[in-house]
Structure 1
Amino acid sequence: FNSFDYLLKPLDADELEAAIDKATKAGKNYADENLRQLFDSLQKNQFRYRERCLLPYRDGYKTVRVSDINHIETENKTVYLRLNNGTSEVVNMSMDELEQQLNPDCFFRANRQYIINIEYVLFLSNYFGGKLIVRLKGYPNTKITVSKEKAQRLKEWIDK
């Protein structure tokens, strides 16, 4: 902290009051400036969810929009983006990494093997033991099992 004013003895009440006012205003301005800097910093560094994936393709790269992902599946330690057009793309990321980078309002980790896109959920059916089976648009043969522990969260997520 810096000094704001000098007071000499004997203290004069008006000078003391003026020094206190000056210190209060300076402290308020200092706090306001710190808050503004913090807000600006947060805006600049605001976390943004992934919108596209850049994937190796032949001798270059191609992009896939996240909105085109029907679901993500891991099979034999390989992660596949299953697209809404019925094609699949291999992605060089783990399911955990993808889960962190995808908007949780749009994508749900159904189990260790699947992340699903809310836009492509077609039907939920009850399964034994309080579990659910998820059916997806465009993938009629895919049945995704959701545990009893996650079933309620899935229903709440869809019913927003």
Structure 2
Amino acid sequence: MSWTFNPDLQSKNLSYSNGLAGYMLNWVFGFYLPEFVSLYIVLILIENYHKLLNINELALDAKSIIFYELKFLPLFLTSYLFFIPVTLHLRFLIREFPSFAAERYEDVYMGMLYTSTGYLTYTPFIVILGYLLLNTSLIIDFLQNLKKAAKPEESVLGVLTSLASGAPRAYTQVISAKTNTGETLLNVEDCYLFETEEGEYFVEHYKGRFKVSKSLAELENELDPDRFFRGNRHYLLNLDYFDSYSYWEKGKYVLHCQKLPEKELIMPRARMPSLKQSLEKNVANSAKQEATTVGPLVDPSENS
């Protein structure tokens, strides 16, 4: 960017490039192409950083988003160490072709390789670029999840408007499952548990255990969060059949299901506040449904 807005530096490069055509080639391939390589390296770093910190999900609240953003600041502040050798030498190879002079390499390029000047030149730009990439990816993932959650007749914009207005969403009530003889439809209210095992997805139902085609991430978007709780990345538990929880070890808990007493569903301690909040909502919703079903009590004598 400093080169772009520096007439003296541009004039020097124009004379060095032997004319306008060489200058334009130098501008595109010598300056900007290596930065696209830097961009690609930063993208790889972001992807692997997600895996290293096991970041698979993000709650849509201000606190979670802020902490998510801050987690990547150390990566952006140190990414210079990873891309600068590649970027710098690629620029040297392209710009100096076919005459590679050690003296010019030392005078022009070495000042950017693992030096305070190089770090301070690149890092502000990389922090801005890194957050643009990170948040662009976040928005794309969010829109894709909205699309998955929407019914065929709904648009992504319609679902987004519904979320913004606070209007109640229509959650999936029936799910397709595979049996030994073919496909069947199951009422999600009767599903005790959705879980993943060896890369495949299963549902526990009073009719048995069946394979489903939708991932837990898709199901979490489509099912009522006041009924189905994500204890960890391996399962979704129907809180209508929740039995109890107990402390296990190393800051983890075990959840127990009424219909699956042999199952021990591990949950990290960090999920405990979310579990209690979901249980409170589930109990409150169940009480409302029971009151609606039974209706108000009437004194028989009033009918006589």
TM-score normalized by structure 2?
A: 0.36
1:65 maps to 2:187: yes
* More strand by percentage: 1
Aligned equivalents of 1:80, 1:119: Cα separation in 2 = 18
Change in CA separation of 1:103 and 1:88 when aligned onto 2, cut-off 3 Å: same
Residue equivalent to 2:276: 155
Match of 1:159, SS? helix
Q: Which residue of 2 aligns with 1:133?
A: 254
Could you say which residue in structure 2 is the equivalent of 1:54?
176
Q: In structure 2, what is the Cα distance between the partners aligned to 1:106 and 1:47?
A: 14
- Please tell me the root mean square deviation across aligned C-alpha atoms, in Å: 2.6
**Partner Cα distance (1:92, 1:156) in 2:** 29
Contact 2:193 2:204 in 1 (8 A): yes
Runs of 4+ deviating beyond 2 Å: 54-61, 127-131
Counterpart secondary structure, 1:108: strand
3-state SS of the aligned residue for 1:144?
strand
Per the normalisation by structure 1, the TM-score is 0.66
- Go from structure 1 to structure 2 and tell me whether the alpha carbon gap of 1:141 and 1:60 turns closer, same or farther (over 3 Å shift): closer
What 5-or-longer segments of structure 2 have no aligned partner?
1-157, 282-304
Aligned AA for 1:144? L
Q: Which stretch of the first structure deviates more once superposed, 56-65 or 135-144?
A: 56-65
User: What does residue 80 of structure 1 align with?
Assistant: 202
Question: Number of residues paired by the alignment?
Answer: 119
Counterpart Cα distance in 1 of 2:254 and 2:199: 23
Question: Alignment partner of 2:226: what SS?
Answer: coil
8 A Cα contact 1:130 1:151, kept in partner: no
Contact 1:69 1:81 in 2 (8 A): yes
Q: Give the aligned residue type for 1:79.
A: Y
Q: Which has the higher helix share?
A: 2
1:62 shift after superposition: 1.7
Confirm or deny: 8 A CA contact 2:245 2:254 kept in the other structure: yes
| Identical residues among aligned pairs (%) | 25
| Separation of aligned partners in 2, 1:61 and 1:91 | 10
1:130 deviates by 3.5
| Aligned 8 A contact 2:225 2:278 in 1 | no
* Counterpart code for 2:220: E
Query: Are 2:223 and 1:109 equivalent residues in the alignment?
Result: no
SS of 1:143's partner is strand
1:99 matched to 2:252? The reply is: no
